[in-house]
Structure 1
């Protein structure tokens, strides 16, 4: 059976471990964005920075940041959980994507993985979640993230009607002194 928000929320221990990756399966109560062509978006969760995860009718997962960026990040809810477990800093990978350059995203992922604060704790949480959900590891989570965002066609708007921009940001790890030094 495919992993769904309902199946996952029934597993309180896994939900708690996802909290280690800054993911909450509690959606915002008040809608603060609209999606063209979707009457009532199904928000399935949020993150600590105020972003929202939305399960689209296509079963793709859309991420809407509180900073006016949005895009599809996973082909399914299960793929979202796999992404978060494999690369909990997925949003930073997009931030340091140099405008959507896959090689730069891979470079950022490697550097971010090397600079994890609590590597043992992160690895333990990864293993606990994978085991509890019988989740396989993803071969190329960065490639899957790139493909999803690059193909994203959802148009998200703020309540004033202004459209959100892509999740690909213009920065690279070379713009961040700590990451630049870690990559060297």
Structure 2
């Protein structure tokens, strides 16, 4: 979506040529592939762990970090994998989004008319709010899981970034 906003604001005359339906399908498939690889990476890394008997996982929401905490064997590799893969799969798209917004803002500020600037900012404002909400709450969940062990707070915050941002998407 950040690339789409970038093209719509900064390259409006070339938008239809660049954002061809084949590119849209390719972007969706790439997103799906990255998600599958990310899930498989953690699932396959958790398989060799031995888990204690008679432990209970919170029934409401079960994140990978909470499951790894239940392992009886040493889970240092899994914890490092969670944070390194999280930084990669979380940080690289965030850098791309930030870069596109820097380009969008510089393009908008160079527009001569105030009406054009307002229209451009309102076009990207809803996307920016959803992205900020998603990344802000997700970042908060993973930082708070380092410092505290409160599954209830993590569950509520996780619902915020998993459910609320998806519900807001159709209204964009």
Fold conserved (TM > 0.5)?
A: no
**For the pair shown, which has the larger CA radius of gyration, 1 or 2?**
2
* Larger helix percent: 2
Smaller-chain TM-score bracket: under 0.3
TM (norm. structure 2) is 0.26
* Larger strand percent: 1
